[in-house]
Structure 1
Amino acid sequence: MQEEQRARQWFIALWVAATVIKVVIAARLPLFVDEAFYWQEGRHLAAAYSDLPGLTAWLTRLGTVVGGDHVLALRAPFLLLAALLPWLVARGTAHWFGAAAGWQAGTLTVLMPLSGTLGLLALPDVPMAVAAVLCADAGARLLREADAMSAAELALGLVIGGLSHYRFIGVIGVGLLALLWLPEGRRLLRDARVWVALACGVAAWAPLLAWNLEYADAGLRFQLLDRHPWAFHGDGARFLLVQAAMATPLLFWAMLVASVRGLRGGGPSLPQWRYFALLGAVSTFGFFVLGFFADDERVSFHWPLPGYLALLMAVPLLLREWPSAWRKATWGLAGIGAVLMLGYYLAVSVPGLRAQLAGDKYYPSNFAGWNELAEEVRKARERLPAGTTLLADNFKTGAELGFALGDADIPVLDHPLNHKHGRAPQLQLWKLQHDGQRSAPALLVVGATDVKFSALLAHYQALCRMVGPLPPPQVVNIDHGARRFLLFALPAQRAEGECTTPVVANIDAPEVGARVPKRFTVSGWAVKDVAGVRRVEVTLNGRVVSQAQDAGANEWLGGFLKDGSRDPRMPRVQFKAEVDASAFPAGRHWLGLRITGGDGSEEEWAEQPVVLE
């Protein structure tokens, strides 16, 4: 009784603290790009969409209908589901292994970073996790005795999962394999009530299947074929390290041990324990193998989460076999992991802290700059003629601006990102894919940092082909240019003639974050199609400290820039400048460029940190 009471007190205290912290962060955290697109889908209600079944979009619409167009309102349904998840895990575990084990499993769900941060973002993983736990719990109950209530719980889980994500097919497959593995499971599959539950689950996929039948399997092709190379690559080897970090090392080891025992038939004699272990084992090892062949460019560390939730139901019994010191270390590391992950999201939600990450590979670009961009767009539209339309260059910019400006119908140009993320078919269906032709003035918003740097000039050249010659842009640098947008005021009629692109430049030396003396040399290159570059000035903290000089040819650059540059000075585009920073104190400063084109236009290039000694 003392163990149970202590476990319950810890669970409730940590659950309340984590829930309050997540609500505070969710109210401040800028909208992630996928969330913005789900909001846009929610503004175009449908049974299914090109990238997902309908539930995520429906939940975002519910949140904003009740609470208005605020990030917290949009995320509120997901926060509620995420808050329910630890209770479901605790309930399912307690039914078989005792109340103390149940509270411990619920606490692990709160602390494990992958599950503990659910709900901060309005993503389909939240309802899918709830669905996975419902199905796992229902399956365990059905192993004991097939009854209508357990079959109804299974049906509910299957319906929620089927309306959440294509990936839930994997959860269903893992569950069926686990049942077939166990003698009790094979007997269970002969019960009519189980098949009724499965039929309800199959019916939940009907809207998605109908969408794919109507639109030539565009969604299925993207999820199963287009986004995956389906060729061996070595990045899958990172799986264990990434998962150990995201689940915390000792807890991940405990789940692996439970998985192996489940496969070997070891562990407690209860078939439910082995059932939970098998669910996690098949899922974890399956994703490990899949990682060597599937998409490795986008975030996928959260894919094994449904399997981990099943393993968390089995782990408390395993931990009782460990020495006290190892148990305490497991709980301690899980707590540290939860604090670090919540701390990361808190840092991302604070503009000053987020700006300090500029120039770092961990800079959270998909969260950053949208409110600042929206404010600059509002100001620019006020200066432009009445009737000027707003045009975005990719789905990210269109969706984020749409949320900030309350407009879910911002047209978007054809862009590689739209296809890479499976959003192009949906934009076409909404008639929001724009061909660049126009009969009224337009404000074109271009995300310069949304394109690989080597392809940036080629992207500008593609914009020229779509919309015609580009006027000098208004540059919006956010967090020292770590997020960079260009605003083009396009005339009503497409002009003819050569197209002058924005500047593309780079500082070769010093490197990002380098320590430099008070007198140091800056070298790099800058190109601008058609007009060329007239002057390059070096800035420190936004103040001009030197004017660069011609440093000769850069033959390598022609091969680096995709499709090449039409700068009239090519390849003589290298520059060098001597900087005297003796007036600046020692410490971290921001080194940048101010570039004047041959057409008189002036652009502030992105800054990078250097440390003055």
Structure 2
Amino acid sequence: MRGEQRAYITFLVLWALVTTVKVLVASQLSLFVDESFYWQEGQHLAAAYSDLPGLTAWLTRLGVEMAGDNRLGVRLPFLLMGALLPWLVARITARWFGGRVGWQAGALTLLMPLSATLGILAVPDVPMALAAVLCLDAGARLLRNVDAGGALMLALGLAMGALSHYRFIGVIGMGFIALMLLPEGRRMLRDPRVWMALAVGIFAWLPLLAWNLDNQDAGLKFQVMERHPWVFHGEGLRFLLIQPLMVTPVLFVAMVAVAVSGLRKAQGGFHHVQWRYFALVGATSTLLIFVLGFFTDVERISFHWPLPGYLALLIGVPLLLNRWPRFWRRCVWVTVAIGLVCAMGYYVVVSVPSLREEMAGSKYYPRNFAGWQPLAEAVREELAEMPGDTTVLADSFKVGAELGFRLDDPSIKVLPHALNDRHGRTAQLALWGLLSKGERPGPQLLVLAPSDPRYRDLLARYHQVCELVGPLPPPRVVSLDHGFQRFLLFRLPAQKQSGPCVTPAMAWVDAPVAGAVVADKLDVAGWAFKDGVGLTRVELLLDGRSVGDAVYGRDFDIRAAWPGTSDPRHPHVGFDGQVDVSQVAPGRHWLGLRLYGADGSVEQWAEQPFVVER
């Protein structure tokens, strides 16, 4: 009893601390682009959407109705679900393996990075994880005795999962396989009350099915076919290697041991049918996702996909740990605690602009969290100086949803963009009538996000925008975190203009390379151009301050790399110069460019880091 009491107090303290930190972080962290789109869907309530079933959007709408149209309001229902999940895991484990083991499983759920951070973001994985745990609980109860309560819980879990994500089909399939591998499971599946629960779960898929039937299966095609290559690729190995980091390495080994025990039937004293059920569910679902990692989407984040399987395995981990030496038991708790601090620390860094800026230039820079509030402020300033009937036109669903949330306008029109297609949002935007082909109802403020396309595709994107809206006037540049997040704002007149395509400027710094170490002199070289009108000056900046002009107009022919470019100064678009850094303090500094167009435009380019050492 004393051991159970200590485990309960430990769980309660951890739950209070983790939940408090999650609420604080969620209230400060800028909305991820997908969260903003879910908010936008919640402002256009429907039974289902192009990218997801309806539950995620409904929850965002419920949150803002309860707590206001702010970041915490959007995330509130997801935070509550995330806070409930450890209690459910503890309750399930305690029912079958004892109170002390139950509170230990709940504590591991609070500490494991993937589950610990659940609810900070308003994403469908939160209700899907909760649905998976409800189904897991119901299955364990029904294995012992089929009753109305267990069947009702199964129906609730299946319905919630069906309304959360297409991926929940995999959770259902793996649960069915686990039950078929158990004699008790096969007996359970013969009971009509179980099939009544399954019927409720099937019925919950009907809104999504109806949406796909009405829209040429657009959502199903995207989720099953268009977003996945379905050919073998080596990126699956990286997916496997990152998994131990997501749950911490020693805990990962413990969960593997639980999975192996389930696949090898009852051995080593684990004869409990529920033990094997949890192990089989976790093993089959996790193995399937590991295999699919070699064939599925590698462009979008997918490291969280195995979470439902991990939660099933986590139930069995404390019982297994009781057989491990004390040193390794302590290693599990210490490493998951470190993992929790690292995971929460990442969100804290992303939510604090000064800390996030330090990540600029790295591949881990959180662009989808960065710069949206300064952009919204700049848009308000521009709109205040334009005619009253001016509308906002966004580059893609990302810009449209993020601005919509901050401007309280869920109906901002967006241009066609490859991002809309890659994220399965084009069909939904078209249904809302928010997909613009450049038609001009009056003056418009066009907002482009040049950081979104790959750099090699940026010029083609600019030309595509020109075809839709006409030549682009001089932009206002909103640059953050040394230019690693940039936005361009264009005041478009009421009538579409004719003439050659005028694009924003483009540039590249060949020297210094990023991270170069220098002593007294910094040699600078590169190229810059602006289609349609050309550039007149390239000004050099050191940590944001002007240090003179580069010599612009050197012979540097880049037309082979940029076919279709129309800068009148080609091939003389190279520049070079030298910056005296002898009086600059040692450490990291930033080289920037300010590009002056022949049309009067002034555009600040992304900065290049270098290090001064003496």
Instruction: State the secondary structure of the residue aligned to 1:277.
Output: helix
Instruction: Report the identity percentage.
Output: 61
- Distance across 2 between alignment mates of 1:181 and 1:551: 73
Q: Of residues 425, 428, 447 in structure 1, which corresponds to 2:427? A: 425
- Cα offset, 1:231, TM superposition: 0.8
> Contact 1:448 / 1:485 at 8 angstroms: preserved in 2?
yes
- 1:551 deviation in Å? 7.2
| Contact map agreement 1:539 1:592 (CA 8 A) in 2 | yes
Residue 461 in 1 paired to residue 497 in 2? no
Please give the secondary structure, in 1, of the residue aligned with 2:368: coil
Within a 5 Å distance, the mapping from 1:270-309 to structure 2 comes to: 270-309=272-311
- The code of the aligned residue for 2:82 comes to A
Report the Cα distance in structure 2 between the residues aligned to 1:571 and 1:248, rounded to whole angstroms: 54
Q: Which residue of 2 aligns with 1:342?
A: 344
User: How much has 1:184 moved relative to structure 2?
Assistant: 0.8
Q: Secondary structure at the match of 1:135?
A: helix
Aligned to 2:453: 451
Residue matched to 1:243: 243
Alignment of 1:43-442 (within 5 A): 43-267=43-267, 268-442=270-444
Cα contact 1:546–1:577 (8 A) shared by 2? no
Corresponding residue for residue 5 of structure 1: 5
What's the RMSD between the two structures over aligned residues? 1.1
Aligned-partner residue type, residue 298 of structure 1: R
Q: 1:517 to 1:323 in 2, by over 3 A?
A: same
Deviations 1:338-361 (A, max 9, x none): 011001101111111011111111
In 2, Cα distance between the equivalents of 1:260 and 1:210? Answer: 41
Structure 2 match to 1:540? 542
Following the alignment from structure 1 to structure 2, what is the Cα–Cα distance between the partners of residues 251 and 260?
A: 14
- Cα offsets for 1:75-123 (capped at 9, x unmatched): 0100000000000000001111111111011011000000000000000
User: For the residues of structure 2 that align with 1:558 and 1:325, how far apart are their CA atoms?
Assistant: 63
Q: Paired residue for 1:512? A: 514
**More moved, 265-274 vs 470-479:** 265-274
Shift of 1:550: 4.3
Using the TM superposition, give the Cα deviation of residue 602 of structure 1 relative to its aligned residue in structure 2, in angstroms: 1.4
Q: Give the corresponding residue for 2:24.
A: 24
Looking at structure 2, the residues matched to 543 and 25 of structure 1 have their Cα atoms a distance apart, in angstroms, of 34
Q: Are 2:538 and 2:552, in contact at CA under 8 Å, matched by a contact in 1? A: no
Match of 2:598 in 1: 598
The alignment of Structure 1 onto Structure 2 pairs a total of residues equal to: 611
Where do 5+ consecutive residues of structure 2 fail to align? Answer: none
Deviations 1:101-156 (A, max 9, x none): 11011011000000000000000100000000000111011111111101111111
Query: Contact 1:471–1:489 (CA<8 Å) still a contact in 2?
Result: yes
- Greater Cα offset, 136-145 or 581-590: 581-590
Letter in 1 for 2:401: A
Counterpart-to-counterpart distance in 2, 1:80 and 1:245? 26
TM, length-normalised to structure 2: 0.98
Please say if residues 516 and 610 of structure 2, whose CA atoms lie closer than 8 Å, have aligned partners that are also in contact.
Answer: yes
Query: C-alpha separation between the residues in 2 aligned to 1:391 and 1:85?
Result: 41
Q: Which region of structure 1 is more displaced relative to structure 2, 190-199 or 564-573? A: 564-573
Give the conservation status (yes or no) of the 8 Å contact 2:514–2:610.
yes
Give the AA of the match of 1:393: D
Question: Following the alignment from structure 2 to structure 1, what is the Cα–Cα distance between the partners of residues 147 and 17?
Answer: 37
User: Residue deviations 1:515-542, cap 9 Å, x none?
Assistant: 2223110111111112112211110011
In 1, Cα distance between equivalents of 2:377 and 2:258: 52
Q: Which moved more, 1:217-226 or 1:505-514?
A: 505-514
Alpha-carbon offset, residue 596 of structure 1: 1.0
Q: CA deviation at 1:2?
A: 2.1
User: After alignment, is 8-17 or 602-611 more displaced?
Assistant: 602-611
Paired AA for residue 211 in structure 2: W
Residue 451 of structure 2 aligns to a residue whose secondary structure is: helix
| AA at the equivalent of 1:605 | W
Quote the offset at 1:574 in angstroms: 2.1
C-alpha contact 1:394 1:417 (8 A) present in aligned 2: yes
Letter in 1 for 2:509: I
Q: For the residues of structure 1 that align with 2:353 and 2:433, how far apart are their CA atoms?
A: 35
The CA distance in 1 between the partners of 2:511 and 2:266, in whole Å, is 59
User: Does the CA-based 8 Å contact 1:166-1:223 persist in structure 2?
Assistant: yes
CA contact (8 A) 1:500 1:529 kept: yes
Amino acid at match of 1:144: R
State the Cα distance separating 1:571 from its structure 2 match: 3.2
Deviations 1:484-524 (A, max 9, x none): 00000001111111121110111122122322223110111
Specify the SS of the correspondent of 1:565: coil
Q: Which amino acid aligns with 1:560?
A: A
The Cα offsets for residues 4-32 of structure 1, whole Å up to 9 and x where unpaired, read as: 11111111111110000000000000010
Maintained 8 Å contact 2:474/2:600: no
Letter in 1 for 2:457: A
Q: Partner residue of 2:559?
A: 558
State whether residues 391 and 442 of structure 1, in contact with CA within 8 Å, keep that contact through their aligned partners in structure 2. Answer: yes
CA contact under 8 A between 1:365 and 1:483: conserved in structure 2? yes
- Cα separation, partners in 2 of 1:553 and 1:181, compared to 1, 3 Å: farther
TM-score after normalising by structure 1: 0.98
Is 1:545–1:581's contact at 8 Å kept on the other side of the alignment? no
1:280 shift after superposition = 0.9
Contact 1:441 1:492 in 2 (8 A): yes
| Deviation, structure 1 residue 559 | 4.0
Distance 1:573 1:602 in 2: 17
Give, as a single letter, the amino acid of the residue that structure 1 aligns with 2:208.
L
User: 2:199 and 2:31 mapped to 1: Cα distance?
Assistant: 37
- 1:199 is aligned with what amino acid? A
